């Protein structure tokens, strides 16, 4: 079994919740908030990087951190207010992958809807009827229930998929 390192950035607790489930499911794993993440990743076979989205990209802390990751197997996981498979969330994975340091192999990606920061919703509600984001009120309400038990089960299933992928890579490399 391989040792995992999980590093996450979380503003509202959504990404932390998924990170903890990934850590629990991985087995032999260490977990760190991005602010206390180790500088050396050489003891880990997999580095799982989790973040929330800001304007369709990893949050500022993770954006600064991603280039420090190099020469390792990576999984990316993200939480956001949109549905899982929207262009917004898919493009964010591409932006994160682009920011990674040299020689990283992305083993997989996991996306999860999460509740919107209440301060952001309040700001939008006060912005006036011409704010185009107000068209998203129904989506905001739906997102308020996430991450839920189904999302956590999906994260656990994702880890199992990655574990199988690692075994197959070792077998056929």
According to CATH, the topology of domain 4-168 is Rossmann fold (3.40.50)
> Tokens at residue 169, please?
């890579």
- Summarize pLDDT for 104-150 with one digit per residue, the tens: 999 999 999 877 766 665 666 566 676 555 556 666 667 667 789 99
pLDDT value of residue 82: 72
| Every domain of the chain and the residues it spans | 4-168
Using the structure block, give the residue that is written with the tokens 């304007």.
55
**What value does the CA radius of gyration of the chain take, rounded to a whole number of Å?**
16
């Amino acid at each position: 079994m391989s040792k995992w390192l999980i590093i996450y950035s979380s503003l509202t607790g959504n990404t932390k919740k998924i990170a903890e489930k990934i850590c629990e499911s991985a087995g032999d794993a260490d977990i760190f908030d991005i602010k206390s993440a180790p500088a050396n990743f050489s003891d880990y076979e997999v580095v799982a990087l989790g973040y929330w989205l800001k304007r369709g990209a990893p949050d500022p802390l993770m954006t600064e951190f991603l280039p420090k990751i190099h020469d390792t197997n990576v999984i990316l996981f993200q939480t956001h207010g949109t549905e899982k498979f929207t262009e917004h969330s898919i493009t964010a994975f591409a932006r994160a992958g682009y920011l990674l340091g040299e020689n990283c192999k992305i083993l997989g990606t996991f996306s999860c809807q999460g509740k919107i920061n209440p301060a952001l919703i309040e700001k939008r509600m006060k912005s006036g009827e011409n704010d185009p984001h107000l068209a998203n009120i129904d989506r905001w309400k739906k997102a308020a229930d996430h991450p839920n038990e189904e999302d956590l089960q999906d994260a656990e299933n994702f880890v199992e998929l990655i574990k199988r992928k690692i075994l197959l890579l070792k077998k056929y490399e």
